[in-house]
Amino acid sequence: MSIQIFGLPVSRGVAIGRAVLVASSRVDVPHVFIDPTLIESEVGRLLSARDVVATEFEVLKRDLPADAPAELAALLDVHLMLVQDEALVGASADWIRERHYNAEWAVSAQLEVLARQFDEMDDPYIRERKADLEQVVERLLRSLSKGKPSAVPDGGEHRDFGGDEPLVLVASDIAPADMLNFKRSVFKGFVTDVGGKTSHTAIVARSMDIPAVVGARQASHLIRQDDCIIIDGDAGLVIVDPSPIVLEEYRFRQRQSELERGRLARLRHTPAVTLDGERVELLANIEMPEDAPAALEAGSVGVGLFRSEFLFMNRGGNLPDEEEQYDAYRRAVESMKGLPVTIRTVDIGADKPLDGLSAAELRHESVLNPALGLRAIRWSLSEPSMFRRQLRALYRAAVHGPVKILIPMLASQREITQTMEHIAHAKRQLTEAGRSFGEVQLGAMIEVPAAALTLPLFLKHFDFLSIGTNDLIQYTLAIDRADEAVAHLYDAWHPAVLQLVANTITQARAAGKGVSVCGEMAGDPAFTELLLAMGLRSFSMHPTQVASVKQRVLRADTRRLAPLLDQVLYSEDPEAACESLLSQTNGGASPVARRA
């Protein structure tokens, strides 16, 4: 029977495929696709773990004291039977062979299948055996975690993995570390129970240009492994087991979307200039050095945000050393072929935690609201050796091309002073060591209302500003952007947010300092004309969003837009006011855009 599940639309388009469930577990489970040549060795890992667990149960039963309850021995027999059952281990091996899952993922996937079967049993005694199954699986996972880790391919596109059918990922939530593994994988869409429009899952889905719905509450419980599902990323709708008519309708929409992408791709090498001759800088947000070629391919004129924290993730607590960071930054700079690269210092915390780090990091993990805890520049200042190591690597990379360093989440003079002291110290260390380094421009992210309200302080110390609208909205409206319970209150059109953004742009331009927007607002075409009216001439977004925004830029006339700005900023409903004014001022597309 077909069912519909509603959530938040966070990445547009339509995805159709078989559901792949990533089940929650009390044991941290890595989700990676293994190299096809190593399938049988991965099956061997699984079988070895089974044998270890079976031996554990046999030893436990053998060593039971004479006066132990008979029920305890019977329970161990049940667990031994479960771990040796082909429905668990044999079927898990099938997931490895057919989908190329690593062993841990395969066991978790099969647990999901069997748990659903137990839930549907009429006999309450049999239903309760699901707890035994979960305990056995937990032992299996722990045994696997102690052995040799799965072999993972060395980068590249994993499009040949997972079988022939399109796959869509369904999970309660997706950890940033897993998103790194999934980023170049076979998945055509994402569905999560939790999250908001600017949660990490949503941002990465947009960067991959694939449909996604988050905050879908019970999706991972209502959808089964291998269900046929449709993800409508425009409406925030997930359709499970669609009828043939609905399926064909959405396939038609997919084809239309592909045609539109083709039309936009023709603008790739067209300069972003408004109808009245204002040149606009469209930059790219990237997460790894390997993303730089996509930024160039999209027609961006530089990198406006390199999120360096992704170099620190999914490493089991082993932070990258100076040489590894230098090599990553150098590769990104060289890949951009002389175009500027803005690299943000590590911004961990909130929805981007690190695994198994220092005591300071562990303290940050325990904060009731991580968004207000030890994150971004606060964490860097609490870990001076780590911070200086990154700064040295950044300055060394500047030898290979234009580099800008962006400091996140600054809020006070004290933090600015401490940051500048660390920068000076790092440069002295390079000089004393005889290391070559280049000059960089220093920038501050404006993402805390305290910063937006004390701009002269920031303009005094920094060469440029970059407005991080995701966090600025979160902190201005007191909304945790990753919490689906309040996600409907997250409002980029709120007058307070728009006035802070407009004031930041105005003051930066008056001071002769560069200013850009690097949050999700920059890549949303609905805001393009409004930001242009505010005076913004530098937008930074995911490479997949560049063409859509460029189309709006080419059709805009800033001379007609600017006088209408106050009517939007001080309206009770800025979004409606903006739509109304644009409909009145729309003079049609530029000749270039029309030809496209």
Do residues 253 and 266 touch, judged by C-beta distance below 8 A? no
- Output b/e per residue, 32-44; b: 16+ Cβ within 10 A: bbbbeebbeebbe
Residue 314 labeled ligand binder: no
Spot the catalytic one: 31, 100, 518, 542: 518
Residue 282's nearest CA partner among 567, 569, 549 is 549
At position 252, the amino acid (one-letter code) is: F
DSSP string, 89-147: IIHHHHHHHHH-B-HHHHHHHHHHHHHHHHHT-S-HHHHHTHHHHHHHHHHHHHHHHHS
Indicate if 518 belongs to the active site. yes
What tokens does 402 get? 């234009």
Residue 383 labeled ligand binder: no
Do residues 7 and 214 touch, judged by C-beta distance below 8 A? yes
Q: Report the C-alpha gap between 216 and 220 in whole angstroms.
A: 9
Q: Report the C-alpha gap between 20 and 109 in whole angstroms.
A: 8
Q: What 8-state DSSP symbol labels residue 86?
A: I
Residue 575 labeled ligand binder: no
Q: Which stretch of DSSP H or E encloses residue 469? A: helix 469-477
Residue 185's nearest CA partner among 349, 5, 9, 22 is 22
Spot the catalytic one: 79, 200, 364, 542: 200
Q: How many CB atoms lie within 10 A of CB 59?
A: 10
Residue 344 labeled ligand binder: yes
Q: Report the C-alpha gap between 397 and 343 in whole angstroms.
A: 11
Indicate if 578 belongs to the active site. no
Q: How many CB atoms lie within 10 A of CB 524?
A: 19
What tokens does 179 get? 């998103």
Cα–Cα–Cα angle for 58, 61, 63, rounded to 5 degrees: 110
SS3 229: strand
Tell the residue number behind the tokens 């040796």, with chain if given: 84
Q: Report the C-alpha gap between 122 and 102 in whole angstroms.
A: 33
Q: What 8-state DSSP symbol labels residue 483?
A: -
Q: What 8-state DSSP symbol labels residue 279?
A: B
Residue 184 labeled ligand binder: no
Pairing mode of beta strands 212-214, 228-232: unpaired
DSSP string, 49-89: HHHHHHHHHHHHHHT--TTS-HHHHHHHHHHHHHHT-IIII
Q: How many CB atoms lie within 10 A of CB 531?
A: 28
What tokens does 151 get? 């072999």
Residue 217 labeled ligand binder: no
Query: With the C-alpha atoms ordered 161, 167, 170, 174, is the resulting torsion angle positive or negative?
Result: positive
Beta bridge partners of 187: 167
Return binding residues for Mg(2+).
447, 471
Binding site per annotation, positions for phosphoenolpyruvate: 307, 344, 470-471, 481
Residue ranges for the known binding site are 307, 344, 447, 470-471, 481
- The residues assigned a catalytic role are 200, 518
